[in-house]
Amino acid sequence: MAGTVVVTGASAGIGKAVALRFLAEGWNVALIARRAGALAGLAGSNTQALALPCDVSDETAVADAFAATVGRFGRIDVLFNNAGIARPSALIDEMPVADWRAMVDVNLTGMFLCARAAFGQMRRQSPQGGRIINNGSVSAHAPRPRSVAYTSTKHAISGLTKTLALDGRPYSIACGQIDIGNTATDLAAPIAKGVPQADGSIRAEPMMDIEDVAGAVLHMASLPLSSNVLTMTIMATNMPFVGRG
């Protein structure tokens, strides 16, 4: 199956890898991120790629980006709701409120706005339906030390996913979540060098190949709408997640 997918946070890391995998599989791909130059380079001259510079926390910009996707490709079959940010680790009383607000704006409100736009389009289009895949995190299950804002937003995404999975049933809209742990990206590079553990130690952690994540997202997206992966955890096999703490 191939159709039209919207990928947010598409300019780098997991979003870029997923976008490239979908393009290689013949999908139309709408690329959403804030960095216009990076998106333009990714899209190149590929007529199946549409670069849409957009801040996902901006309601109007999100609506315009999804309208442009439909204008170009006619419909939306899948949203990979991936855009997210992190800020320096801190205890709650030492964290700037501005850092909390920034992470909530992008990691939660941004995902809400993109899911809202996708859900509305999927309800209206014919044939009706589609799939929303939210990028959670293993932090949706177990926090790292000093990660109150990031962990809070990722727990909230689990609630968003389950509610959309329920509310989407009458409209053939499936919603699932992929919780990813320790992928080799620039953002996650410090994990491979050494990060704080729950016991107070600093240890390097195993990493997995980003292409394995892209393949997992493609698998979720390629299922018929009669089937849904509600939650998937994909992680480096030996990372300290099961039994964390």
Given a cut of 80, is residue 115 above it in pLDDT? yes
Average pLDDT over residues 17-41: 97
Query: Over the range 1-24, which residues count as b (16 or more CB within 10 Å of their CB) and which as e?
Result: eebbbbbbbbbebbbbbbbbbbbe
Per-residue pLDDT of 98-113, as tens digits, reads: 999 999 999 999 999 9
Per-residue pLDDT of 129-146, as tens digits, reads: 999 999 998 888 888 888
DSSP 8-state symbol, 106 = I
Average pLDDT over residues 59-68: 98
- Per residue, what are the HEC states of 36-102? HHHHHHHHCCCCCEEEEECCCCCHHHHHHHHHHHHHHHCCCCEEEECCCCCCCCECCCCCCHHHHHH
Residue 244's pLDDT band (cuts 50, 70, 90): low
Is the alpha carbon torsion for 185, 187, 191, 192 positive or negative? positive
CA distance 152 to 100: 10
CA distance 183 to 35: 22
Q: pLDDT at position 185, please?
A: 83
User: Which residues are part of the catalytic machinery?
Assistant: 150
Q: pLDDT at position 195, please?
A: 84
19 contacts 42 by C-beta, under 8 angstroms = yes
121 contacts 72 by C-beta, under 8 angstroms = no
Per-residue pLDDT of 175-216, as tens digits, reads: 999 999 888 887 777 888 888 888 888 888 888 999 999 999
Q: For residue 8, what are the β-bridge partners?
A: 32
Average pLDDT, the chain: 94
Given a cut of 70, is residue 245 above it in pLDDT? no
Q: Torsion over CA of 54, 58, 63 and 64, rounded to 10 degrees?
A: -40
Per-residue pLDDT of 144-182, as tens digits, reads: 888 999 999 999 999 999 999 999 999 999 999 999 988
Q: For residue 231, what are the β-bridge partners?
A: 177
Is the alpha carbon torsion for 66, 72, 75, 81 positive or negative? negative
Give 64: exposed, middle or buried? Use CB within 10 Å, 0-12, 13-18, 19+: middle
